[in-house]
Structure formats: C-alpha cells, structure tokens
Amino acid sequence: MNHIQLKNISKIYNANSTQAQSALTLLAEGMDSIAVKEQTGYSVGLYDINLNIKAGELHCIMGLSGSGKSTLIRHLNRLIDPTSGEIWVNTTVNTKTHAKDNPQANTAPVDKRSSNAINILELNDKQLQHYRQQTVSMVFQHFGLVPHMTVIQNVAYGLRVRKMSVSERHEVARHWLNEVGLNNLEHSYPDELSGGMQQRVGLARALATDNPILLMDEAFSALDPLIRAQLQDQLLALQDRLNKTIVFITHDIDEAVKVGQRISILNGGRLIQTGTPSDLRHNPADDYVEQFMSAKA
C-alpha cells in the first residue's frame, strides 16, 4: 500500500502565483530548469512530481546537486510548501500494524477517497504540529544535536510532548541508544563523540519518537566511507525489524543501490524514473539514469 503520495507537486522558489505560472508554462512546454531560470529569474525546485512511496519501503531519492532532492523531502514535513500539487499521507499506518508478520494489515490503497489519507497541505498549525510529532521524523546531514544536552537528553527530547515522566522518556531513549549500539555513552555530550557516533544519536532520536515515517537527507554523507558503510548496514538491519517508511536522500548511486528498495531519480526538478535498482540498471529511462547506473562501483 502507498504511505505517501505526491500529486503534481511543483515548487518555484521566490515567486508569487502569477510569477510562478510563467515558469510553469515554460516547464510544461519542455524547457529545462536552467533555461527557465535564465528566462524568468525564478529557480525551479521541482516540476510536476508524481510519486508514490509504499508503506514500509526504504525509498531513495537520487540526483545531482541542485536536482531537487532536498526540496522534495522538505515537502514531506512541510518545511517547504509547494507552488501547486497535493501531498497525501496515510496517517493510520504505523509500524506495529503493517509489520511483516501481519500481512493482512493495511492493505487498502491510499487515495483521496480514503478517510485514512490526509492532504497534509490542508493541515492547520495545530494539526501540522501533531503530524510532525506523531508521523514524521527527520535525521539531518549534520546531525542537529543540541550541544548542551547529553546524549540521552538529546534522544529523549522528541518525547517531551508525549506526556511521559522524565524517567520513562529516559528509559525509551536508553532502549534506542542500545539499538544503535551506543550504550554506556548516555551521559556524554555530542562534542565528545565522533561523527559516526553523533549520527547514531541522531538516528536513535528519530527512532525514539516511534513515528512511522523517517526522512533522511544526506544523513550519512558527512561520514568517512567505513563508518558510512557501518551505518548503512545498521539502518538496513533496523529497517528489517522496524519496517518504517524511510525516504533516504543521497547523491551516491552506490549508497542508493545498497540501501534502496526503490530509487527515484531527479534531474533539474523533474522525476525521471522510479524503480528497483534492477529496473534502473536494465531499463534506464534516459542517458542520465544510464550514466548513474554505469558509474556504479
């Protein structure tokens, strides 16, 4: 079943709706985003993205710098609002009910007629706050830990809205630190940890919320290759058990092929192709996809 559906999402930066329309018209005629920027002065973040992300899949978003990856993922927790389009999220999916040992659960398709799916662009401030607390968590490229908080305080931070006592929050945080292999470091401060350890804390913090959707924007890109490979393995092992819906951004095709069940390739704000690594390798939609796949180590 689909967990997230993007329908005709376009994002033109720093333009009002009339200004954006001129850029969208040129894009509809097939002009590329660089030429649109030259002609109109507006930056194209995304153009007409239609993408379904399935519940429980690890979906990679791939593309060169400036292709729109961060723009896309930031729409999913509404750090960015689109110029046009809809974003439907099934808020009833949770990792407990669509676990692999319960294949009957959540088999209904998500679409606008389903009462389970909400268009997150229609949420008011309070509903959006609730959505961010209960549905989506983010792991940041540069870890985003609070420097004056200890490791356990950082991990427990996202739980402060959950009406739990401090000791309960710390118990949950301790569990997730253990899951990412960081027991015994709970009283350390972030700057006492290596980059790989800090990102494990970032991952534990996101997992501790128990939110079903995990957004990861270049989360491993700042790490050394060996540590990066270890975190990829750890993420895959966790995903195997937790069955979260993970949207994972990378510009590294090797990483995408290793972790992604499906990969979506962006170029100049357009979605070129979505498929399994094997689909992309055997049936690339264009030269851009083919070049990525042949560049794979």
Ligand X SMILES: Nc1ncnc2c1ncn2[C@@H]1O[C@H](COP(=O)(O)OP(=O)(O)OP(=O)(O)O)[C@@H](O)[C@H]1O
Q: Which member of 69, 132, 174, 262 binds ligand X (CB under 6 A)? A: 69
**Closer to ligand X by Cβ: residue 68 or 82:** 68
Q: How far is the CB of 67 from ligand X (least distance, A)?
A: 4
> Does 13 engage in binding with ligand X (CB under 6 A)?
yes
Residue type (1 letter), 52: N
**Closer to ligand X by Cβ: residue 42 or 131:** 42
Residue span binding ligand X (CB under 6 A) among the ranges 69-77, 108-116, 132-140, 150-158: 69-77
Residue span binding ligand X (CB under 6 A) among the ranges 62-70, 123-131, 256-264, 280-288: 62-70
Residue span binding Mg ion (CB under 5 A) among the ranges 63-71, 86-94, 160-168, 199-207: 63-71
13's contact among Mg ion, ligand X, none, with CB below 5 to 8 A by partner kind, is ligand X
The closest residue (CB) to Mg ion is 70
> Does 91 engage in binding with Mg ion (CB under 5 A)?
no
How many residues contact Mg ion, by CB under 5 A?
2
**Closer to Mg ion by Cβ: residue 117 or 223:** 223
Q: How far is the CB of 263 from ligand X (least distance, A)?
A: 14
**Contacting residues for 101 by C-beta, under 8 A, at least 6 apart:** none
> Does 66 engage in binding with ligand X (CB under 6 A)?
yes
Q: Which member of 3, 20, 24, 68 binds ligand X (CB under 6 A)? A: 68
Residue type (1 letter), 202: G
- The DSSP code sequence of the chain is -EEEEEEEEEEEET--HHHHHHHHHHHHTT--HHHHHHHHSPEEEEEEEEEEEETT-EEEEE-STTSSHHHHHHHHTTSS--SEEEEEEETT--TTTT-TT-TTTT-SPP-TT-TTEEEGGG--HHHHHHHHHHTEEEE-TT----TTS-HHHHHHHTTTTS---HHHHHHHHHHHHHHTT-TT-TTS-GGGS-HHHHHHHHHHHHHHTT-SEEEEESTTTTS-HHHHHHHHHHHHHHHHHH--EEEEEES-HHHHHHH-SEEEEEETTEEEEEE-HHHHHHS-SSHHHHHHHHT--
Q: Using CB atoms within 10 Å of the CB of residue 115, give its burial: 0 to 12 exposed, 13 to 18 middle, 19+ buried.
A: exposed
> Does 45 engage in binding with ligand X (CB under 6 A)?
yes
195's contact among ligand X, Mg ion, none, with CB below 5 to 8 A by partner kind, is none
Q: How far is the CB of 176 from Mg ion (least distance, A)?
A: 26
> Does 70 engage in binding with Mg ion (CB under 5 A)?
yes
How many residues contact ligand X, by CB under 6 A?
13
**Closer to Mg ion by Cβ: residue 70 or 243:** 70
x/- map, 228-257, ligand X, by CB under 6 A: -----------------------x------
Binding site for ligand X (CB under 6 A): 13-14, 43, 45, 63, 65-71, 251
Contacts with Mg ion, residue ranges (CB under 5 A): 69-70
